Amino acid sequence: MITGSLVALITPMTDSGDVDKVKLDDLVEFHIANGTHGIVAVGTTGESATLTYDEHADVIRQVVTKVAGRVPVIAGTGANSTHEAIDLTKRAKEAGADACLLVTPYYNKPTQEGLFQHFKAIAEAVDIPQILYNVPGRTACDMSNETTLRLSKLNNIVGIKDATGDLERGKALIEQAPEDFAVYSGDDATAVGLMLLGGKGNISVTANVAPKQVAQAAEAALAGNSELAREIDGGISPLHSNLFLESNPIPVKWACAELGLCGFGIRLPLTPLSDVHHEAVRQALRVAGVARD
């Protein structure tokens, strides 16, 4: 089972919007050096919605190659078309990913039965560990705990990234799910709380800029050391809010560029972080102890 701090990795881009392959390699090394326990490539934070199929597969393949087995690589392969999700998941398996992350279909708003059949079809089509991803704030589609529990019984479905931020709901899911089914947080602000309730890790946006602290907080929470976990998390809590002042990944990409980890490139329809938010993000970086100044 994959556990710990799993960074939802940004996809670095040049000013023209091309994938910056040199910086992508650098980011992988940065995370491994700072204790990140796993890397999620081309998820929502990685701008999966605007990468072409070939770019999507290329980024996964490059991350897998650069990681070289040192930490698990989870590939974002979700889509609002079941056929597309199956194709992306096949490509991720061919690229050597350890697991895939599959978001609920966005925009078309399937029923709970539609969600079950969608994920069931992918699980049956591709033999690779698959982590479901429920983020209703982004998709306008909320997968119920009941549907998740139905899916948890299927081969290849091994966990869920719960980005609802609802700890009571997460607690209920953890208590009812099979022991080998992992519940991961997809909400940095409540991630420590979920792990202390039995969650297995944090698929984190904040880890892009504060990987060491997010990893240490996860390690403490998974060990049941609530005092240390909350102390570490408290030091980076402004990042949990200020990295969402505009739609993700706008603020975190700007923050990574501010730290010299990559350039400021981002792909339309997303645009660079508005000037009015620069100082708030800088201040959160300072509080976390990761700012360059």
* Structural domain includes residue 271: no
H or E element in which residue 193 lies: helix 191-196
77: its two tokens = 């392969």
Is 120 assigned a catalytic role? Answer: no
* Catalytic position from the list 23, 66, 161, 200: 161
pLDDT, tens digit (0-9, with 9 covering 90-100), for 127-170 = 999 999 999 999 999 999 999 999 999 999 999 999 999 999 99
pLDDT at 143: 97
User: What are the C-alpha distances in Å from 214 to residues 158, 205, 260?
Assistant: 23, 10, 19
* Structural domain includes residue 195: yes
Distance in angstroms (rounded) separating the CA atoms of residues 100 and 93: 8
Task: Please give the tally of structural domains in the chain.
Answer: 1
pLDDT at 173: 97
* Structural domain includes residue 245: no
Is 161 assigned a catalytic role? Answer: yes
Residue 17: give the domain boundaries: 4-223
Binding residues are 45, 203
Write the burial class of residue 109 (CB in 10 Å: 0-12 exposed, 13-18 middle, 19+ buried): middle
* Structural domain includes residue 201: yes
pLDDT at 37: 98
* Structural domain includes residue 260: no
pLDDT at 283: 97
* Structural domain includes residue 110: yes
Query: Which residues in the chain come in under a pLDDT of 70?
Result: 293
pLDDT at 292: 82
* CATH code of the domain covering residue 8: 3.20.20.70
Binding residues for pyruvate are 45, 203
* Structural domain includes residue 46: yes
Strands (E), the chain: 4-8, 38-41, 73-76, 99-103, 130-134, 157-162, 182-185, 201-204
* Catalytic position from the list 133, 184, 212, 253: 133
pLDDT at 293: 67
pLDDT at 101: 98
* Structural domain includes residue 72: yes
60: its two tokens = 């996964």
